[in-house]
Structure 1
Amino acid sequence: MTTFPDDFLWGAATAGHQIEGNNVRADIWAMEHVTDAPFAEPSGDACDSYHRYAEDIRLLAESGLNTYRFSIEWSRIEPERGLFSRAELEHYRRMVRSCLAHDVTPVVTLNHFTVPAWFAREGAWAQPDAADLFERYVRFVVTELHTEVSWWITFNEPNAGALLLATGALPLGAAADDLAAGQRKMMAEFAVRVGGTPGVASMAIPVLAPAAMENVFTAHRRARAAIKSISPAARVGWSIAVHDFQAADGGEERRDAVLAQAVHPFWELSREDDFVGVQTYTREVYGPEGRIPAEPDDNAFLTGWEYYPAALGHTVQQASAYTGVPALVTENGIATADDKARIRYTSAALEGVADAIGSGAKVLGYIHWTLLDNWEWHSGFAMTFGLIAVDRDTFARTPKPSLGWLGGVALGNGAALGSETSAR
């Protein structure tokens, strides 16, 4: 077994909107409450981590993990255009200091999908000054927190829309027309809820229009430059979603087309970063006619994704080779009700990362998705990715055996991989 680097980051990740609760000034909150909203249920109180973050960080640290990736909600920091909340900034400063008090490295995501309702009202990423507005927000946050935070992620999965298009997840033809009609109705109500005009007001995710995507690229470049100007030693990157795209006989062209559209342009920009964030859960296999469905498997994710933990080692190696910069695993995990399956999956995924390191890939850390059973967007609370269970009524936290197991792996810097006896 390859030894992980001595300064390897071992952690778990969350996202503000999915755990904090009552993020009422965000675009997603508005969409959650339109008629026939595309969510199984609204986020509501979520995990109430806005008030319970100290307990969450303590549980993470006590397990043996040394890193916490969390996001700052732009909609809390700047609830209306040009109006910055110092009180909310202090909330996130307290989170950072709670991490440091437990010898936990904070890895801070500046945009994890959601944006302020006012930003959505004005067109989200399609508006001409989108990059200016994002840079201004980033400068406000980083100026205040840079002495205590040295790891920054500008965007989480900015390629999510490109993946939907490239993999055919968005329907075409008559089905697309029907979907568009329903979406127009939802977006009209959404526009009213954010105080905007139909046809102008827009959700921030997924980014589909080329002009909006170019604005995101510009926003990332400018945010990176802003962070570096304030904190030259800071490490900056963004987190790119990538399946392990494979080809059966004759499927190479299809697979390569997906990579060229949905992954490689984002990895290209990562060559200028300090690291590339890798977010991998499964694989997709392509034949000459398109994607080949996975065989039914009792181990499959609750999401329906194929159980294929080897995917992570493959994508880490690919990302490192393509970009020439170190990879940081910013998300990997499994939605399952079987915690033993979570341990098996994560152990195998980490063994793949170790193999990639042994083959020459530089990998900075492994951050598991997710710390808490949370609100998973369209699926509501049904998808249990967490290392910690959360009671939906009392918010009581119950660490699962997988948290202690992963913490034990972290304490031994990977030496305990392949053994469940490291569970604490």
Structure 2
Amino acid sequence: MSSFPDGFLWGAATAGHQVEGNNVGADIWAMEHVEGAPFAELSGDACDSYHRYEEDIALLAESGLNSYRFSVEWSRIEPERGQFSRAELDHYRRMVAACYARGVTPVVTLNHFTVPAWFARDGAWSQPDAADLFERYTRRVVEHLDKVEWWVTFNEPNAGMLLVATGALPLGALGEDLPSGQQELFERFAQRVGGQPGTATMALPVIAPDALAHVFAAHRKARAAIKDIRPQARTGWSIAVHDFQAAEGGEACRDQVLAQAILPFWDLSRDDDFVGVQTYTREVYGPQGRIAHEPNGDTFQTGWEYYPAALGHTVRDAAAHTGVPVLVTEHGIATDDDEQRVRFTHAALQDLSTAIDDGAQILGYLHWTLLDNWEWHSGFAMTFGLIAVDRTTFERRPKPSLEWLGKVALDNGASLKLS
């Protein structure tokens, strides 16, 4: 017997800038091409998924998976303020059609970190009309992609606060918090996007109080717009959350991180149809703060601890705090050992099944990621994918983990309890 409910979404996720290639109108593209930018490699052609999405969707469907989460790129759809591209809207409409033709449910993300360069030029999320601009963009997309039933407004809007709360200096820190070299970097970025230093800024990470307030407002406005156009659609946003644990005496440090970087976002999720959970590992806190993980043979390429139980713990916490169903919008492991990927995912899904047995309402599991892709500052070094991609020819090479996860999907997780 399977714990997973009928209609459970079994799938994989991608993000436009990381797989499409040549997203030339985006703020991240602009920053990549600024002298001194902290990117190991340029995104360039990425996985050329802009042209090869049909093959990607086919490989996903043929494995047995039934859902594909992908993002639409605001910078393609609205390349200049108020100028919308029917051709690009049609492109994403064709992606949706390709999903349905293969029996795949599309889960569409409206903002996966990147924004148009013009939006960054004018202050990104700090500009007073940011939420209204996002609502206008949302309406255009939802009206055109009128068959989509699942919408994620923002991917990890708490990423900036998570970086601040856990002690890492985010790239987007402002003003006197910036080392002089980064101050010069952002001045060059402003020049590239045609804006003024002090106004022009990247959208990520969002840490300024006014910017955070505008993102919260943008989520509310987008949610209302989606419901206005398509009342039966399900809406939410995806929140990055580690499995935050406390060693003896570390409860106050852990709780401070939760209060700063997680709970305000979960609070807003209480009015959504679901809350997206994106988790990969745990962080343990002692009286002095985070306790560093000692690397071992199972450590992720990212340096994160191998801890499959994190998934079950975080979905329980999210469900309990928000009171709404949970959609696992990302979960995976950066490794070049595909057997390790299967072992990690298998253990995590068993814990997810137990959480369902214990009463947590879980709507789906979307693995990060479908393709080995461009992982932001790390370039192409991190291999999270179920499918390898040749960097020269773009040939797709499915890994055994894709077939394994597809088989789990086909029996709706029943085989997890037999092993």
TM-score, normalising length: structure 1: 0.96
- Output the amino acid matched with 1:263: I
CA-to-partner distance for each residue in 1:11-34, whole Å, 9 max, x for gaps?
000000000000000000000011
Q: Distance in 2 between matches of 1:258 and 1:84?
A: 40
1:18 paired residue number: 18
The answer to whether structure 1 residue 94 and structure 2 residue 94 are counterparts is yes
- Whether the 8 Å contact between 1:347 and 1:418 is mirrored in structure 2 is no
Match runs of 1:156-305 below 5 Å? 156-170=155-169, 179-305=178-304
2:345 paired residue number: 346
Distance 1:2 1:100, change over 3 A: closer
CA-to-partner distance for each residue in 1:115-166, whole Å, 9 max, x for gaps?
00000000000000000000000001101112x1000000000000000111
SS at match of 2:341: helix
Moved more, 2-11 or 71-80: 2-11
Distance 1:418 1:359, change over 3 A: closer
Deviation at 1:181, TM superposition (A): 1.2
Q: Distance in 2 between matches of 1:179 and 1:339?
A: 39
Structure 1 spans left out of the alignment, 5+ residues: none
Distance 1:177 1:125, change over 3 A: closer
2:111 paired residue number: 111
SS at match of 2:414: coil
CA-to-partner distance for each residue in 1:9-57, whole Å, 9 max, x for gaps?
0000000000000000000000001111111011000000000000000
- Whether the 8 Å contact between 1:2 and 1:357 is mirrored in structure 2 is no
CA-to-partner distance for each residue in 1:152-191, whole Å, 9 max, x for gaps?
00000000000011111128xxxx9795212111111111
CA-to-partner distance for each residue in 1:65-122, whole Å, 9 max, x for gaps?
0000000000000000000000000000000000000000000000000000000000
Structure 2 spans left out of the alignment, 5+ residues: none
SS at match of 1:361: coil
Q: Distance in 1 between matches of 2:418 and 2:151?
A: 33
The answer to whether structure 1 residue 332 and structure 2 residue 331 are counterparts is yes
- Output the amino acid matched with 2:238: S
Q: Distance in 1 between matches of 2:314 and 2:90?
A: 37
SS at match of 2:253: helix
SS at match of 1:278: strand
Distance 1:419 1:396, change over 3 A: farther
CA-to-partner distance for each residue in 1:280-304, whole Å, 9 max, x for gaps?
0000000001111112211110000
Q: Distance in 2 between matches of 1:111 and 1:117?
A: 14
2:385 paired residue number: 386
Q: Distance in 1 between matches of 2:12 and 2:111?
A: 17
2:37 paired residue number: 37
Deviation beyond 3 Å, 4+ runs, structure 1: 176-179
Q: Distance in 2 between matches of 1:230 and 1:178?
A: 42
Match runs of 1:409-424 below 5 Å? 409-417=408-416
- Whether the 8 Å contact between 1:2 and 1:358 is mirrored in structure 2 is no
Deviation at 1:419, TM superposition (A): 6.9
- Whether the 8 Å contact between 1:78 and 1:116 is mirrored in structure 2 is yes
- Output the amino acid matched with 1:198: P
- Whether the 8 Å contact between 2:283 and 2:290 is mirrored in structure 1 is yes
1:82 paired residue number: 82
Deviation at 1:3, TM superposition (A): 1.7
The answer to whether structure 1 residue 62 and structure 2 residue 66 are counterparts is no
Q: Distance in 1 between matches of 2:221 and 2:177?
A: 38
CA-to-partner distance for each residue in 1:235-279, whole Å, 9 max, x for gaps?
000000000000000001110110000000000000000000000
CA-to-partner distance for each residue in 1:298-330, whole Å, 9 max, x for gaps?
111000000001000000000000000000000
- Output the amino acid matched with 1:150: E
- Output the amino acid matched with 1:346: T
TM-score, normalising length: structure 2: 0.97
Distance 1:229 1:205, change over 3 A: same
Q: Distance in 2 between matches of 1:178 and 1:108?
A: 35
SS at match of 1:217: helix
Deviation at 1:418, TM superposition (A): 6.2
- Output the amino acid matched with 2:202: M
Q: Percent identity?
A: 75
1:124 paired residue number: 124
- Whether the 8 Å contact between 2:2 and 2:412 is mirrored in structure 1 is no
Q: Distance in 1 between matches of 2:145 and 2:2?
A: 35
Deviation at 1:417, TM superposition (A): 1.7
- Output the amino acid matched with 1:368: H
- Output the amino acid matched with 1:85: S
SS at match of 2:416: coil
1:135 paired residue number: 135
CA-to-partner distance for each residue in 1:198-238, whole Å, 9 max, x for gaps?
11101000001011000000000000000000011000000
Q: Distance in 2 between matches of 1:411 and 1:371?
A: 17
Q: Distance in 2 between matches of 1:115 and 1:136?
A: 14
Q: Distance in 1 between matches of 2:93 and 2:107?
A: 13
- Output the amino acid matched with 1:97: A
C-alpha root-mean-square deviation of aligned residues, in Å?
A: 1.3
- Whether the 8 Å contact between 2:295 and 2:303 is mirrored in structure 1 is no
2:318 paired residue number: 319
Distance 1:419 1:335, change over 3 A: farther
The answer to whether structure 1 residue 9 and structure 2 residue 9 are counterparts is yes
